[in-house]
Amino acid sequence: MITERSEKLYAEACGYMPGGVNSPVRACRSVGTTPLFIERAKGSRIWDEDGNEFIDYVCSWGPNILGHACEPVISAVKAACEKGLTFGACHKSEIELARLIRKHFPSMEMLRLVNSGTEAVMSAIRAARGFTGKDKIIKFEGCYHGHSDGLLVKAGSGLMTQSIPSGAGVTEGCTRDTLLAKYNDESSVRALFDEHGGEIAALIVEPCAANMGVVPPKEGFLQFLRDITAEHGAMLIFDEVITGFRLSDGGAQKLYGVTPDLTTLGKIVGGGMPLAAYGGRREIMECVAPLGSVYQAGTLSGNPCAVAAGIATLKQIESTPDIYEALDKKSAVLEEAMKSAGLNVNRCGSLMTAFSNSKKVVSYDESRACDTEKYAKYYRHLLRNGIYAAPSQFEAMFVSYAHTAEDIERTAEIIKAFNGE
Ligand code: HOZ
């Protein structure tokens, strides 16, 4: 594979941006390659600057559930752009998107549109603190909730990939109120509530963890979190930035039948544009300014072009009744192929990770114990054969509706051919 142009561009980018990238995992350091520079994408395919074609399973880390450059989404964005890129003022499409979100996530009785998952989570936590008048929050080791200060403790995703336990530049004061529990371990949560029960404003969780690799919740774990938070007057926040509209049209909360107090969405809800949302029970959201004193604002919040992409994507999902069943079937074929190649797979619908260890991964510690060198070999094997996967053991593989039966078949054959080298 010739990657001359990408390499040249990467060398140039390194002079301008830390590590040559605008988000750390993209630097591909943990898989021993340098990044490919993407020139264009369509459907299930992406092409790099050297003209190499790949079947893409990164799908922009989740948003592209319909595949790249889906026609109705592109048309809707073009039409919105023609009317003006940003108003910094109210417009009627915001209501349409809010209505669509609430239709699928009835627990989001009121919501706000923001620009990124990081912002959505930061704001949801602030709302929970404002509503409860309490300071402390519980998060889980290996769950990633964006890069705001208070949440960069044993966060998964890029920090795990780079082996950074907690981010530098974050003061002790910022994380003093962040308590850490172990995902899928009820006793660790109970211990924190026993010690700090009256001080806990919220517990935040990825209802199906996807930033330490995919680690689904154990049977009953989410209901346990619902019960214990309710018992202590703490808000339960589901971070559904990845799982929202991915695991079902109503996200993980619909799939697992557990209703949180607050939800954060991102990725698919923005249809590939920078848009996210947070929302929940009306009485909590009524604490947000101008109704209440929890402050949150944004010049580009509710940006009309991003909103248009979100609406078109959600409508497309609605008009494709078999979408989740189809995604599940395609993903199951890939799962079987990974198992044949001796990999240990965790899968929830179209979200999956091929772990390079022999034991079932149900926790952060087990995920961390993976043979990342083996994953790097797997990644390079896929790439050499035209398959673009996440350049980190600790990220997810995403399947889209645009992946054809032939794409899946070809990918499965290539996965099966992985012999550890
Ligand atoms: N670690 C991010 C996804 N979980 C990567 C985002 C990006 O590089 O775009």
* CA-wise closest residue to 162 among 33, 59, 31: 31
pLDDT of residue 77: 98
Contact yes or no for 135/121 (Cβ under 8 A): no
- CB of 210 closer than 8 Å to CB of 244: no
Which residue puts its alpha carbon closest to atom 5 of ligand 1?
Answer: 25
Q: How far apart are CA 314 and CA 5, in angstroms?
A: 36
Ligand 1 centroid–CA 67 distance in Å is: 17
Active site residue 144: yes
Kind plus residue range of the DSSP H or E element containing 387: strand 387-388
The pLDDT value recorded for residue 157 is 77
Burial class from Cβ neighbours inside 10 Å (0-12, 13-18, 19+) for residue 136 reads buried
DSSP string, 364-383: HHHHHTS-HHHHHHHHHHHH
Question: How many angstroms does the Cα of residue 262 sit away from the middle of ligand 1?
Answer: 23
pLDDT at 88: 97
Cα 60 to ligand 1 centre (Å): 8
239 classed as catalytic: yes
- pLDDT for the residue 365: 92
Q: Please give the pLDDT value at position 396.
A: 97
Cβ neighbour number for residue 178 with a 10 Å cutoff: 20
CA-to-CA dists, residue 164 to 111, 153, 155, 206, 256, angstroms: 33, 9, 9, 20, 32
Say if residues 27 and 374 touch (Cβ distance below 8 Å).
Answer: no
Centre of ligand 1 to C-alpha 23, Å, is 6
pTM: 0.97
Whose C-alpha lies nearest to ligand 1, atom 4?
Answer: 157
Q: Write out residues with Cβ below 6 Å of ligand 1.
A: 23, 25-26, 61, 157-158, 211, 395
**Residue 153 has what pLDDT?**
86
Q: Tens-digit pLDDT profile for the chain (421 aa)?
A: 999 999 999 999 999 999 999 999 999 999 999 999 999 999 999 999 999 999 999 999 999 999 999 999 999 999 999 999 999 999 999 999 999 999 999 999 999 999 999 999 999 999 999 999 999 999 999 999 999 999 988 888 788 877 676 778 888 888 899 999 999 999 999 999 999 989 999 999 999 999 999 999 999 999 999 999 999 999 999 999 999 999 999 999 999 999 999 999 999 999 999 999 999 999 999 999 999 999 999 999 999 999 999 999 999 999 999 999 999 999 999 999 999 999 999 999 999 999 988 889 999 999 999 999 999 999 999 999 999 999 999 999 999 999 999 999 999 999 999 998 8
Centre of ligand 1 to C-alpha 92, Å, is 31
Do the Cβ atoms of 213 and 177 come closer than 8 Å? no
Catalytic residue among 48, 177, 185, 239: 239
Q: Is 364 a catalytic residue?
A: no
Residue nearest to atom 7 of ligand 1 (CA): 23
Identify the active-site residue in 136, 267, 330, 377.
267
354 by DSSP, 3-state: which? strand
